[in-house]
Amino acid sequence: MHYSSPAPHWPARLLLALVISLAVATLSAGFLFDHVWAWSAGIIYVLYDVLLLLYIVCVTSKLKPQPALEPFKQPLSVGIVIPARNEATVLPACLNALLKQQLMPAQILIVDDGSTDHTAQVLQQQFGLAADMGLVQSTTHANVQLYRQPNQGKSRALNAGYPLLHTDIIVTLDADTLLAPNALYELVQAFQQQDDLVVAGGVILPECNKSRASLRTSFFDFFQKFEYIFSFLSRAAWMQANALLLVSGAFAAYRRDVLHELGGFANHSLVEDYEINHRLYRYAYEHNKTWKIGVIGTALATTDAPRTFKTFFHQRRRWFAGFLETQFSYFNMVANRKYGVIGGFMLPIKTVDAIQPFVGAIALLLLAYFFIAGKTAVLWIVLWVFIGKLLIDTVLNLWGAINYYRWTARTIHGMDYFTIIFATLMAPFSFQLLRLFSACLGWWIFLTKRYDWLPQREG
């Protein structure tokens, strides 16, 4: 299913025009003014970033793990769908983690989307799944099944798989995701406690494949772990505001009836997990439903993360291109009071986020210009802005890390504080630049429609 938005109404157009005009004005300011206004692009970029971070840590300052319930007398049944293509190296570990869950899933369905590696042999040897087309039952595990189809893409694999599950809750899981033993129990507990919760995700911890350890692998592993802390903390903040738009499809749970009512996943979306939540909110507001989307801090999982520049840029440019594709597909909801806090608060922020990479790029280009032109007065201003930003970020990031560890019921150690400080000081000059560049690449992919897919484990 795919939703094509009607033409946006004038407030959405006006907001986008204002944001673009502001970006253009900041570029002009670098050549027209001296002193502080010359680097207005950087100041606006920094101010926006600080205000968002301040909002996130304030909203999440009282977050706690969800209270434990007594063992379920009649728990909601859980089915797992795992879309997989050429995942022979990681799929066995994923399945073994599922078979060790505190709350055993009633059904585990692997959708083999035209694999050309050794997936068929691995599944047959280790899990008793014959290499036949269509639906196959495991001979060794009563709750494990395989559905094999020609290659059609992840969304179509999900849409082929989830109707074959007959459970209350449907969990989508990437083949490289490993669930903590209590992860499904924690998710189901949240659904049991909240009748209006219809979509929920767990907290994912990134792990770079260290079988080929290198300085490059350590770089990506270190900064992505730091990044994911605040990525999921921000989701917790948006959840508190009933405005959470992203639940990672690497570990996401849906009430089956709601997923069916929405028509499943968008077949042509680059980010089907992000798109379906937009469609859910739109449907809920238009049909007066009190549906909520959440993220459960104690439902933990690990997943493979890129460990090379090639795979990192491929992943992030696809994510950003998919974000843009979804943003403009649902642009009619932006600044539209009909859609409540999503239309009036969250989607306007996302409109600013869409243009933010250009403001960041302009700020960097102007810095190079100031240096070449010898504008030392402006460069001193930039230096003090950087120092102030780093000091504020250090305080807010430490505060945010404390919130995150408390919410996920994990223990923060002394070394973690030093790690947060070091990452805060170094990220703006390294990892953040890579993210900025990949976002600009995402714009190029979106505008040219040159979508491509690269398995993360290549390279």
- Among the listed residues 143, 154, 157, 222, the one whose alpha carbon sits nearest the alpha carbon of residue 422: 222
- pLDDT at site 4: 52
Q: How far is Cα 169 from Cα 184, in angstroms, rounded to an integer?
A: 10
Q: Which helix (H) or strand (E) holds 313?
A: helix 309-329
The end-to-end CA distance of the chain, in Å, is 33
Strands 177-179 and 144-149: unpaired
- Cα separation, 341 vs 329, whole angstroms: 18
Residue 454: the pLDDT is 47
Cα Rg for the chain, rounded, in angstroms? 23
For residue 198, the model assigns a pLDDT of: 97
Give the DSSP letter of residue 342: I
- pTM of this structure: 0.92
What pLDDT is recorded for position 295?
97
List phi, psi (to 5°) of 371: -70, -45
Structure tokens at 180: 């903590």
Burial class (CB in 10 A: 0-12, 13-18, 19+), 157: buried
CB atoms near residue 325 (< 10 Å): 22
pLDDT at 451: 66
**Using an 8 Å Cβ cutoff, are 187 and 103 in contact?**
no
CATH of segment(s) 78-307: 3.90.550.10
What pLDDT was estimated at residue 2?
A: 46
- List the chain domain ranges: 12-63+333-448, 78-307
pLDDT score, position 1: 46
CA distance 227 to 398: 13
Number of helices (H), then strands (E), in the chain: 15, 9
pLDDT in tens, the chain (459 residues): 444 555 567 889 999 999 999 999 999 999 998 888 999 999 999 999 999 999 999 999 999 888 876 777 678 999 999 999 999 999 999 999 999 999 999 999 999 999 999 999 999 999 999 888 889 999 999 999 999 999 899 999 999 999 999 999 999 999 999 999 999 999 999 999 999 999 999 999 998 865 566 788 899 999 999 999 999 999 999 999 999 999 999 999 999 999 999 999 999 898 999 999 999 999 999 999 999 999 999 999 999 999 899 999 999 999 999 999 999 999 999 999 899 999 999 999 999 999 999 999 999 999 999 999 999 999 999 999 999 999 999 999 999 999 999 999 999 999 999 999 999 999 999 999 999 999 999 999 999 987 654 444 544
On whether the CB atoms of residues 147 and 164 are closer than 8 A, the answer is: yes
